[in-house]
Each structure stands twice: as structure tokens, then as C-alpha cells.
Amino acid sequence: AQSVTQPDIHITVSEGASLELRCNYSYGATPYLFWYVQSPGQGLQLLLKYFSGDTLVQGIKGFEAEFKRSQSSFNLRKPSVHWSDAAEYFCAVGANNNDMRFGAGTRLTVKP
């Protein structure tokens, strides 16, 4: 069965600092991996996705993620965090749109 683990429930970083949000997955085949962001009171917005090819994926808002098959990970990174990045971040895994499973989310707080 497929599953997604986001080990960090809450992360606090200073504005301008670098960010890495962890995501580990369990899946029986080549996974399709996604990162979504949920701003307070809003729906989910796709940041980036990985299906195949280059394991370093670029997304919107300056985010990137790297697929590491050997570690079953798909960590999200940003070199310099902005205050507007404060939100809830969800990693998801699936074979297609009908088979997506979401992680429990990581809440990001940005300190001035």
C-alpha cells in the first residue's frame, strides 16, 4: 500500500534562511510525487510534481524538490524563505490522479 510520511509537523525558519521540508514515501512502483501548499483559509495549490526524468524538479515560487529513489524521499527546498511562504505544505504520492495519498502536512512558520 502506498503511504506518505512528513516527519516534521511544524518548522520555524527565519526570513531569508534556507528551507528543507522532508517527505518519505512507500510505494510499490515508480511513484508520482507532488508537493502542494495551503495558505491559511485557502485551498491547495500545486508547487511542483515529479513523474520521471530529471530527479531535481523546479516548481513555482522558487521551490524545488529532489527525488531520491534510494532513500524513498522527495524533499522540498527553497534557498531563501519569504514571509509569504508561511503555510501548510503537503507531500502526496500516487500513480495517477485517482490514486493520490497525502501526507499529514508540515506547518511552516517564518520569523521576521
Partner 1 sequence: DTAVSQTPKYLVTQMGNDKSIKCEQNLGHDTMYWYKQDSKKFLKIMFSYNNKELIINETVPNRFSPKSPDKAHLNLHINSLELGDSAVYFCASGRTGTTDTQYFGPGTRLTVL
Which residues sit at the interface with partner 1, rule CB under 8 A? 32, 34, 36, 38, 41-46, 49, 51, 88, 90, 96-98, 100-102, 104-105, 107
Residues 92, 31: Cα–Cα separation, whole Å:
10
In whole angstroms, the minimum distance from the beta carbon of 16 to partner 1 comes to 26
Q: Give yes or no for a contact between 101 and 2, defined as CB atoms under 8 angstroms apart.
A: yes
Q: Which is nearer to partner 1, 13 or 44 (CB)?
A: 44
In whole angstroms, the minimum distance from the beta carbon of 46 to partner 1 comes to 5
The bridge status of strand 10-14 relative to strand 106-111 is: parallel
Q: 3-class SS at 101?
A: strand
In whole angstroms, the minimum distance from the beta carbon of 3 to partner 1 comes to 12
**DSSP state for residue 72 in the 8-state scheme:** T
Q: Which is nearer to partner 1, 97 or 112 (CB)?
A: 97
